[in-house]
């Protein structure tokens, strides 16, 4: 099974760029252009990881993180930001449960390496990666492949 990633970002150029790159790497990327769309997808589908634009508005990225982690098993969230001045917002997002922060202007290979490292920790299959052991994630967490 291929790792499934949800990108929630209102920048269509970044979405297209990441989709083409990550698909070439063997990852399955779904794109939502609003926080509400992303939350609806998370209610219906299983994802191993969420990439979330810190600059989202209505709802904000912080609200999206709150709602993702609202009492049910949730995939880890990596924040994407282009503005280093968002440090207080980044800290709040990490406090709410975000797994980390990535610069949107980081080269795509570095973003892929960060994604694959996190997925490896979670024992999700990573194309071309060697994983020492795989954890058994239950279907109760929404993983149909178990």
- Predicted confidence (pLDDT) at residue 25 exceeds the cutoff of 70: yes
Q: How many domains does the chain have?
A: 1
Domain assignment present for 146: no
Q: How far apart are CA 71 and CA 51, in angstroms?
A: 20
Q: How far apart are CA 42 and CA 6, in angstroms?
A: 8
Domain assignment present for 136: yes
Range of the domain at 108: 4-141
Most confident of 53-57, 60-64, 89-93: 60-64
What's the pLDDT band for 71 if we cut at 50, 70, 90? low
pLDDT at 105: 63
Most confident of 81-90, 99-108, 112-121: 112-121
CATH number at residue 71: 3.40.50.2300
CA 14, 37, 76: angle at the middle one, nearest 5?
Answer: 70
The residue behind tokens 């709040």 is 92
The residue behind tokens 């926080």 is 35
Domain assignment present for 13: yes
pLDDT at 100: 84
- Predicted confidence (pLDDT) at residue 35 exceeds the cutoff of 50: yes
Both tokens assigned to 109: 């290979």
The residue behind tokens 């989202």 is 56
Look at 91 and 7; give whichever has higher pLDDT. 7
The residue behind tokens 């920790």 is 121
The residue behind tokens 């990327």 is 29
């Amino acid at each position: 099974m291929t790792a499934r990633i949800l990108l929630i970002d209102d920048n269509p150029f970044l979405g297209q760029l990441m989709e083409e790159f990550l698909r070439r790497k063997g990852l399955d990327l779904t794109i939502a252009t609003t926080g509400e769309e992303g939350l609806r997808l998370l209610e219906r589908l299983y994802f191993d990881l969420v990439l979330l634009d810190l600059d989202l508005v209505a709802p904000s990225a912080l609200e999206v993180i709150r709602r993702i982690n609202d009492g049910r098993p949730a995939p880890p969230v990596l924040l994407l930001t282009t503005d280093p001045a968002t440090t207080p917002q980044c800290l709040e997002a990490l406090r709410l449960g975000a797994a980390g922060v990535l610069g949107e202007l980081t080269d795509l290979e570095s973003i892929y390496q960060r994604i694959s490292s996190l997925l490896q920790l979670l024992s999700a299959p990573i194309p071309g990666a060697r994983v020492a052991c795989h954890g058994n994630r239950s279907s109760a967490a929404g993983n149909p492949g178990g």
